[in-house]
Homo-oligomer: A and B are copies of this chain.
Amino acid sequence: MYERKIPELLDCGLAVALKVIGGKWKAWILDCINRGVARPSAIHREMQEVAPRIINMHLKELEEYGILYKEVYAESPARVEYRFTEVGKSLLPVLATLETWGNTHKEFIHRNIEIYQPGTCRFLPQ
């Protein structure tokens, strides 16, 4: 386990929210589970681009925060499904808000990045 050297500032609600959803692949994982893709192997199949190890780490982190919980069926070999806790469910509309904002403005942002010249004032149409 990695041990932080600089303590985190987590008083602020925004900082907490960003810690929870901020991992590189967490949003995609949450979207999978929201669509019913709940088993680790199924998530791995959907997210070919991402190594299973990483997905497992994110799942564990989300479980640790209480966003997801693990349903472990007493079969052999054990079958596992991840589900949202109530707090996890409350996160979904927040993610939808972010997604909507991003989709609305992504062309604007991409265009700005392309044409950016430090110091130049640019007023692109939104």
Question: Interface of A with B (CB < 8 Å)?
Answer: 9-10, 12-18, 20-22, 27-28, 49, 60, 63-66, 69-70, 72, 85-87, 90-91, 94-95, 97-106, 108-113, 116, 118-119, 121-124, 126
Could you tell me the dominant secondary structure of chain A's interface residues?
helix
A85: B residues at CB distance < 8 A:
123, 126
- In the complex the two chains form, what is the Cα distance from A17 to B13 in whole Å? 17
A80 CB to nearest B CB, Å: 10
- In the complex the two chains form, what is the Cα distance from A116 to B94 in whole Å? 24
Output the nearest chain B residue to A8 by Cβ-Cβ distance: B24
Q: Name 14 A/B residue pairs within 8 A (Cβ), A-sorted.
A: A12-B102, A13-B98, A13-B99, A13-B100, A13-B102, A13-B106, A14-B99, A64-B113, A69-B121, A87-B108, A87-B126, A90-B101, A90-B126, A94-B98
Given A60-B118, A66-B124, A126-B86: A101 and B94 within 8 A (CB)?
yes
